Chain A
Amino acid sequence: MADRILVFAEQRGGSFHKGAFEALGLAKSLGGEVHALVVGSSVASIAPSLGAYGAQTVHTVEDGALELYWSCGYAAALAAAIEKIKPDLVLTVATAMGKDLVPRVAARMKMGLLTNCISLEEADGCFVATKSMYGGKVFSKVKSDGKPIVATLRPAAYPVPEATGSDAVVETLAVTMPTSSRVKVLEVQKMAEGELDVQEADIVVSGGRGLKEPDNFKLVRDLAGSLGAAVGASRAAVDAGWIDHSHQVGQTGKTVSPKLYVAVGISGAIQHLAGMRTAKCILAVNKDPEAPIFNLADYGIVGDLFKVLPELTEAIKKAKQ
């Protein structure tokens, strides 16, 4: 059993990323003392609520310079919390912030580094993780050697636990901010209203080469609209310039684990399947009955997407009424 676990609970603008709760849920199930760290410019009001997700003590580091994510300042805060708590495991989720923060802290604090874990457990005093390798073509078990580690979890790999407990004890931690920083986040630009991130969304509708031309992405967007889904794309569609790379799902794009993944006009190249095979439910629409995507899909519609999609969009709108 881990004696002490420290969860870095990511927040932006006063709202926790749901990965904070996922990590706390896992930390609680691993046993031992569960500490959380919240870093920002003004986080005292949101910190106690982490108690409901399993944090016994929440440590806060507040400084005006920490309003936006800042690698130097956040690393100083996390390093200070590690000095204080001396955890066996530091846990967070592999978001843009988590991925950026933990390698620096692991290197500084001389802790092992295990990133993008699909699962994480303890065995004989070591941590054992399942990881995707070779773009999901291989799953590996990797093991630490008993010394303390820092780990990131793949987003949505663990469920958000039900909020049950009471508020946690909050302790403020005074950390002197680095003064000689050569890096600074100037601003955060949000996505257009209504547009969802493929990695964050519960439902993703992706389009591929079968759409034939960029304008036909409208069909995918309409379907996504009816489902409240994010719009994804295959590498073929991105490389053809039909849609921005931030939408790409697959080995050189994003790995997603939504509740429902809809693949439209995507045959299922191995590098695409790697990015979406952990979806809970997959629906594929393709005119080729032999397309490899059907080997993975829970539901497959063999047909012309230009006929299927408008009908599907309408039927879903009706079903959701």
Chain B
Amino acid sequence: MKIVVCMKQVPSSEARIALASDGVSINTTDVEMAINPYDEYAVEEALQIKEARGEGEVVILSIGPEKTVESIRKCMAMGADRGILVKDEAYLGGDALGTARILADIIKGEAPDLVMCGKLSIDLESDGTAIALAEYLDWAHVSMVQKIEWEDNTTAKCLRSIEGGVELVQVTLPAVLSAEKGLNEPRYPKLKGVMQAKRKPLAETTPSIASEEVNTEAALIKIVSLAPPPDRAGGQKFEGEVSEIVPKVVELLKTEAKVL
């Protein structure tokens, strides 16, 4: 069982985000970078699948700058076997479809049985990559997976959350599965894992598709400006005797805000 996990390095969810002077990017100096949390669930699930079967290989695939190596090594410290990084600047900063094409290009060469992704990258809040990747590979996909139960080596039942309930989806490999929070609890790397990770193979690669070709077939989506979220003025604050302020607030909800 060979599993490729697509991983993106992103500013940690706790990080304060400051806009860069170019108006279309953020300041990344001194920002703590981390494995995209949803990708971390994907890594953990891949490791659990390999462990449950007692054989297999987990390969981390990433597109990003040199610094991404730190996150790939962390995945290796968790247990992943090797890494592949595309760091050529010409391939960075693409939109969701462009990124999916690059990933597909490399995954075709790797020919895994399963690809695991996160359901969303928390930086650009891009949620189409995993599914578009499945289309470019001509594979099945199940997105936003909360639970996976294997029926045999190639067929799984996946639970995904929908509005007002869940869907139970049966999928046969090869497939792309994207992870939702709740799928598992990612492990912390142990010291031994950290030591071993340093010696695991990490290949820098260039996709076979030319960088100019990545975004030629469909509309390219570009960021034209970034801004802080619109301000929300704080409103009225009430302190004091609960029996007095509660009716007051309820009255305001009813008559002023008109939400009751």
Contacts and interface: CB of A to CB of B under 8 A. Distances in A.
Contacts of A108: 135
Contact of A143 (B96, B135, B140, B222): B222
B169 interface: yes
Contacts of A104: 131-132, 134-135, 141
A133 B143 CA distance: 20
B250 A319 contact: yes
A9 B208 CA distance: 39
A95 interface: yes
Contacts of B181: 245, 248, 252-253
B250 A143 contact: no
A301 B238 contact: yes
A67 to B, nearest CB: 13
A138 B250 contact: no
Given A96-B162, A115-B127, A181 B250 contact: no
Nearest to A136: B229
Contacts of A320: 260
Given A99-B127, A112-B221, A260-B253, A182 B226 contact: no
Given A137-B229, A299-B257, A186 B169 contact: yes
Question: Size range of the interface on B?
Answer: 35 or more
Contacts, number: 281
Interface string B133-153: 011100111111010000000
Contacts of B163: 17, 95-96, 197, 199-200
Given A133-B123, A139-B227, A189-B168, A251 B13 contact: yes
Given A183-B142, A270-B16, A303-B239, A138 B26 contact: yes
B235 interface: yes
B219 A112 contact: yes
Interface stretch (A21-29, A44-52, A146-154): A146-154
| Secondary structure class of chain A's binding surface, majority of residues | mixed
Contact of B259 (A128, A186, A251, A259): A259
Given A69-B167, A140-B226, A251-B13, A134 B122 contact: yes
A203 B218 CA distance: 39
A241 to B, nearest CB: 10
B242 interface: yes
A283 B253 contact: yes
Nearest to B255: A319
B238 A302 contact: yes
B175 A190 contact: no
A252 B234 contact: no
A307 B140 contact: no
Contact of A133 (B125, B175, B250, B260): B125
A142 B224 contact: yes
Nearest to A227: B260
Given A137-B229, A281-B259, A106 B236 contact: no
A277 B132 contact: no
Interface of A: 17, 68-69, 71-72, 75, 94-97, 99-100, 102-104, 106-108, 110-116, 128, 131-149, 181-191, 196-197, 199-200, 203, 227, 244-246, 248, 251-253, 259-260, 270-271, 277, 280-283, 289, 294-304, 307-308, 311-312, 315-316, 319-320
Interface of B: 11, 13-14, 16-17, 19, 26, 37-38, 95-97, 100, 122-132, 134-136, 139-144, 146, 157, 160-173, 175, 180-182, 217-230, 232, 234-239, 242-243, 245-247, 249-254, 257, 259-260
17 contacts: A99-B143, A100-B144, A103-B131, A107-B132, A107-B135, A112-B95, A134-B125, A139-B227, A183-B141, A183-B169, A184-B169, A186-B168, A246-B182, A270-B14, A277-B232, A300-B235, A315-B250
Given A103-B127, A112-B97, 9 more contacts: A99-B143, A110-B218, A115-B96, A116-B125, A184-B170, A197-B164, A248-B181, A280-B259, A312-B246
